[in-house]
A = this chain, B = another copy of it.
Amino acid sequence: MKFSDDELVARTLSGDYRAIARFITRIENNDTKAAALAASMRRACGRAHVVGITGSPGAGKSTLVDSMIRAYRAAGKSVAVIAVDPSSPFTGGAILGDRIRMNLAAEDPGVFIRSMATRGSLGGLARATLESVHVLDSAGFDIVLVETVGVGQAEVDIVRTADTCVVVLVPGMGDSVQIIKAGLMEIADIFVINKADREGALHLEKDLYSLLALEEFVPGQWKPKILRTVATSGEGVVEAVVSTQEHLQWLETSPQGASRRLAVVTQTLVSLIAHRALDEKLSGREELLNRLAQECVSRKRTSLEAVAEFFKKNGH
Contact = CB atoms under 8 A, between A and B. Distances in A.
Interface string A107-139: 000000000001001110100001100100000
A262 B294 contact: yes
Contacts of A294: 262
A222 interface: no
A22 to B, nearest CB: 18
Contact of A90 (B35, B156, B186): B186
The complex is assembled from copies of this chain, and their number is 2
A214 B149 contact: no
- Interface footprint category on A: 35 or more
A86 B122 contact: no
Given A88-B183, A95-B177, A153-B152, A269 B281 contact: no
A296 B269 contact: yes
Interface in A51-83: 56-58
A311 B277 CA distance: 9
A242 interface: no
Contact of A272 (B35, B86, B157, B303): B303
A38 B296 CA distance: 15
Contacts of A214: 90
Contact of A38 (B174, B181, B185, B304): B304
B42 A181 contact: no
Contacts of A306: 269
Contacts of A202: none
B272 A304 contact: yes
Interface-centre pick from A90, A181, A278, A299 (highest chain B CB count, 10 A): A181
Contacts of A245: none
B91 A150 contact: no
A293 interface: yes
A308 B39 contact: yes
Given A56-B56, A85-B181, A274-B122, A269 B297 contact: no
